[in-house]
A and B are shown apart, each in its own frame.
Chain A
Amino acid sequence: MRREPLPKDALDEADRALINTLQDGFPVSAAPFAEVGAALALSEDDVIARLARLRDIGAITRFGPFLDAAAMGGAFCLCAMAVPEERFDEVVTLVNAHIEVAHNYERKHALNMWFVMACERPEQIKEIGAQIEGETGLKVHLFPKLEEFFIGFRVQA
């Protein structure tokens, strides 16, 4: 995944408008790109070509459905581990091998590996946490959310 900012001129006004609009949602209809284009005065072909380019240059990470594990009867859980530097690559491989690990970040702290598990059954959180502890010999700290305070942040492109 791209970690560096794109050159300032990489996106034009229409690209920015597309990114801003599509963060809020995308219609379920027979010709959704034409519908999105109509609202932004862009043709259907133009919308599709711009999205393909934005994906290719790494301006967007995903375009599609976002699932809610909890609504499905499952659960998300933030987890953290303190991984010795010399074992880091080995442990990344073991942790990422679990399909339930949806995101994983290295962070600067004694707890230096932070990942999110997305499970279809809530009891899997503890099971997979225990599996990872068994595979790595390292403690997995579980930080399930107790409350969410979220207003609806959007990046302004």
Chain B
Amino acid sequence: MSIDSIDRKIISATASGLPLTPHPYREVGNWLNLTEEDVMARFTRLQEEGIIRRIALAPNHYALGMVANGMSVWDVPDDRASEIGPQIGALHFVSHCYLRPRSLPEWPYNLFAMIHGETRDAVEGLRAEIAGLLGNDCRASDILYSTRILKKTGMRLTERA
């Protein structure tokens, strides 16, 4: 799948957000000298192709009271990961769960699960819940709390691929 130069312009123009006007796709068309129909057809196709995952709102977890967000990390046997991963990913308090390579010796963990809660204590409780679920499959674990957001722009395209 690929995007052409007009798709690229549309994506770049809306990277920081859709305009809050009654006809946002017409407005994007006005910026780029495209018709509303063309802009809508391209957004539809880009979503069908999965290049745009979705057009949506991202809430600010912190503002909504979920101030304790921890990246829990686990060292589980590689041959158990495919069975364990979906169970952890299905937990209602886990937003993302990934299997990743270790980076030894500094980093022995291969399963990453983001946990969201309203307090550190709550998040620690949820972490214990995961530990209980993993049982002997957990060989080591840690949790990393974010202390500062240093950048959050989302994916940006360069002018030319």
Contact = CB atoms under 8 A, between A and B. Distances in A.
Contacts of A142: 101, 103
B135 interface: no
A67 B11 contact: yes
Interface in A45-93: 48, 51-52, 55, 57-69, 71-73, 76, 78, 80, 82, 92
Contacts of A103: 149, 151-154
Interface string A79-115: 0101000000000100110011111111111110111
Nearest to B149: A1
B147 A155 contact: no
Contacts of B58: 23, 60-63, 66
A72 B59 contact: no
Interface centre among B1, B47, B97 (most CB of A within 10 A): B97
Contacts of B116: 153, 155
Interface centre among A2, A6, A64 (most CB of B within 10 A): A64
Interface residues of B, number: 80
Contacts of B15: 64-65
Interface centre among B43, B44, B53, B55 (most CB of A within 10 A): B55
B21 A48 contact: yes
Given A51-B20, A143-B103, A102 B150 contact: no
A62 B22 contact: no
Interface string B98-120: 11110100110000100010000
Contacts of A108: 144-145, 147
B18 A31 contact: no
Contact of A24 (B56, B86, B100, B142): B56
Given A30-B26, A61-B152, A48 B20 contact: yes
Interface centre among A32, A80, A115 (most CB of B within 10 A): A32
Contacts of A141: 103, 106-107
A101 B116 CA distance: 23
B16 interface: yes
Contacts, number: 260
Interface in A141-157: 141-151, 153, 155, 157
B60 A67 contact: no
B18 A63 contact: yes
A67 to B, nearest CB: 5
Contact of B100 (A3, A72, A143, A151): A143
Given A59-B60, A63-B57, A149-B86, A106 B36 contact: no
Interface string A114-157: 11001011000000000000000000011111111111010101
Interface of A: 1-6, 18-19, 22-26, 28-34, 44, 48, 51-52, 55, 57-69, 71-73, 76, 78, 80, 82, 92, 95-96, 99-111, 113-115, 118, 120-121, 141-151, 153, 155, 157
Given A72-B51, A150-B89, 6 more contacts: A3-B62, A5-B67, A30-B25, A101-B151, A102-B155, A114-B146
